[in-house]
Amino acid sequence: MSLKRLSKLKIPGLKMPRVKMPQLKIGNSVARVPIVQGGMGVGISLAGLASAVANEGGIGVIAANAIGMLEPDYYTNGKEADKRALRKQIKKARSLSNGIIGVNIMVAVNDFHDLLQVAIEEKIDIVFLGAGLPLKGIPIAEIREAGVKVAPIVSSARAARLIFSYWQKNYFTVPDAVVVEGPKAGGHLGFKEIEIDDPGYALENLIPAVVAEVKTFEAQCNKTIPVIAAGGIFNGEDIFKFFELGASGVQMATRFVATHECDADKKFKKTYVNCKEEDIVIIKSPVGLPGRAIKNNFLNEVDAGSRKVFRCPWRCLESCNAKNAKYCISEALDNARKGKLANGFAFAGSNAYRVEKIVHVDTLVKQLKKEYFKMVEHGTVHLRTEFEEALKNFIALRDQYIETARKSVSSLKSELGEILEKGAVAFQEEYKNVMVKLDALKDEYANRLTRVNDLKEQLSRFLDTSMLKLPALAG
Ligand SMILES: Cc1cc2nc3c(=O)[nH]c(=O)nc-3n(C[C@H](O)[C@H](O)[C@H](O)COP(=O)(O)O)c2cc1C
């Protein structure tokens, strides 16, 4: 750029952008609010909560785990009750919302494939598959035919790689999104007890690792695979933080329990509002996994060795040690859902003690958006200050450059003049010498040519007499 143009360069001012939450795109499903309401069994997230979240632009999720407990024949006809109840809840959610509805299914339950089949038949928008790796027996052709998206729930980059590689090799496709659930989540956790408080397993570390892992598959399969962060995300500030770390969406459960639309009894929701930080504990669930719950008398009694009376109708979970279990997890959670907390307990995320009151879903979503916008604004103000500082520095540098260039050009000019003058004199001298030399050479050449031509003539005359011809000589 020329000095003149540079000195006239105008730096444009910055306008504050209109802030919007980024959409969450999973294949052709586009959620205008990038929040997935985490599936919550037993019966905590059904059609009521799922449809309310979907109506706000998020993804509402029905938890399929032991959903048959809503039916009168669960204890005699467990599998059928599960299927029937799930179908009913999907249909109900569809009647209440045109938004995106998902189903959460635990891979470890014995009727996983039956529940998945119902979700496919009902053409659910998306299935979230957790508590185990969804590898074998996935009816991929039917899933694609029905337009159902699949999002496995993982707790490590390794698990994501395992699932994605297996799918790629065996199904020639990969899942459409992935939920990364960190150790601050509620319910059963995909971590060993010693890992739960280890910062190495924090969601803040898991997200970038899974994003990097999934990138390889995105490139190979030429598709975008959003990574959804879950576990301990409480407000808009947290949402902003995980977006900065590479997530494209968040999954939140604890916050949605304390809503009027949540399908659990009010007494269940009140346990969230009333609990303190020290009430939130890690329990060893009868299914062999650690889980996070709100401590109560039921859990204290179990801790003290008490064995609750329960019926196990059909061994719903393969990993459950039903014979020696002190209680049935599904029954305890179902009791809690119904508000019978003397015979059960509430699963909850690590931030449940921060919940202050029960609100409507739309109020909660509005609040989360507001907090998110505040963070964006804060970030924009910060960036703006940084930009203005850099701009000031740039202008100072530009002036310094112009000044230096001006000075240099005038001093260079005089220096160049001197060089040119010296050069011209020297060149003229040399030129003259060369010309003299050339003139001398020219004279000598002419003399020699004359001499050659003389000689040629003499020779021709001589040869004429001897009958030989000589070639012409160039002049
Ligand atoms: C009451 C409750 C029940 C849950 N049940 C399930 C479940 O059935 N299946 C599942 O995959 N995750 C379950 N979760 C985990 C949530 O879906 C979600 O990923 C997690 O709780 C997110 O963390 P947050 O609660 O801190 O927002 C449950 C969580 C809670 C609080």
Q: Computed from CA positions of residues 141, 142, 145, 148, in that sequence, does the dihedral angle turn out positive or negative? A: negative
Size (the chain), residues: 475
Q: How far is the CA of 287 from the centre of ligand 1 (A)?
A: 16
Whether 11 is in a domain gets the answer no
* Ranges 276-290, 382-396, 444-458: which has the least confidence: 382-396
Q: Which residue CA neighbors atom 1 of ligand 1 most closely?
A: 347
**pLDDT tier for residue 291 given thresholds of 50, 70 and 90:** very high
Whether 165 is in a domain gets the answer yes
Whether 207 is in a domain gets the answer yes
Q: How far is the CA of 475 from the centre of ligand 1 (A)?
A: 106
Q: How far apart are CA 188 and CA 196, in angstroms?
A: 12
Q: What pLDDT, on the 0 to 100 scale, is given for residue 466?
A: 45
Q: What pLDDT, on the 0 to 100 scale, is given for residue 384?
A: 62
Q: How far apart are CA 164 and CA 171, in angstroms?
A: 10
- pTM over cut 0.75: yes
Whether 126 is in a domain gets the answer yes
Averaged pLDDT score across all residues of the chain:
88
* Contact call for residues 252 and 229 (beta carbons, < 8 A): no
Q: How far is the CA of 183 from the centre of ligand 1 (A)?
A: 11
Domain count, the chain: 1
Given a cut of 70, whether residue 458 has pLDDT beyond it is no
Whether 439 is in a domain gets the answer no
To 5 degrees, how large is the angle CA 98–CA 175–CA 81?
60
Q: How far is the CA of 185 from the centre of ligand 1 (A)?
A: 6
Whether 204 is in a domain gets the answer yes
Q: 36: which strand partners?
A: 59, 251
Given a cut of 80, whether residue 247 has pLDDT beyond it is yes
Question: CATH number, domain at 188?
Answer: 3.20.20.70
**pLDDT tier for residue 363 given thresholds of 50, 70 and 90:** very high
Q: How far is the CA of 38 from the centre of ligand 1 (A)?
A: 6
Neighbours of 38 (CB within 10 A): 32
Closest CA to 156 of 113, 75, 214, 241: 214
* CA-38 nearest atom, ligand 1: 17
Give the CA dihedral 119, 123, 129, 135, nearest 10 degrees.
90
Q: Which residue CA neighbors atom 19 of ligand 1 most closely?
A: 38
Whether 12 is in a domain gets the answer no
Determine the structural domain holding residue 322 and report its residue range: 24-375
Count Cβ atoms within 10 A of the Cβ of residue 445 and give its class: 0-12 exposed, 13-18 middle, 19 or more buried.
exposed
Whether 419 is in a domain gets the answer no
Given a cut of 90, whether residue 241 has pLDDT beyond it is yes
Q: Tell me the pairing of strands 178-181 and 149-154.
A: parallel
The region that residue 132 occupies, defined by phi over 0 for left and psi between -120 and 50 for alpha, beta otherwise, is: left
Q: What is the DSSP string of 34-58?
A: -EEEPP-TTTTSSHHHHHHHHHTTS
- Which three-class secondary structure state does DSSP give residue 280? strand
Q: Which residue CA neighbors atom 5 of ligand 1 most closely?
A: 40
To 5 degrees, how large is the angle CA 133–CA 137–CA 138?
75
Q: How far is the CA of 186 from the centre of ligand 1 (A)?
A: 5
Q: What is the DSSP string of 426-448?
A: HHHHHHHHHHHHHHHHHHHHHHH
Candidates 49, 281, 330, 347: which one to mutate for ligand 1, based on the most atoms within 8 Å of Cβ?
347
Q: Which residue CA neighbors atom 10 of ligand 1 most closely?
A: 39
9-30 mean pLDDT: 75
Q: Report pLDDT digits (tens) over 117-153.
A: 999 999 999 999 998 999 999 999 999 999 999 999 9
Given a cut of 50, whether residue 238 has pLDDT beyond it is yes
Residues touching ligand 1 (Cβ under 6 Å) are 38-41, 44, 63, 65, 104, 106, 130-131, 153, 181, 184-187, 230-233, 251-254, 347-349, 351
Q: What pLDDT, on the 0 to 100 scale, is given for residue 407?
A: 67
H or E segment to which residue 101 belongs: strand 100-106
Given a cut of 50, whether residue 475 has pLDDT beyond it is no
Q: How far is the CA of 348 from the centre of ligand 1 (A)?
A: 7
Q: Tell me the pairing of strands 100-106 and 59-63.
A: parallel
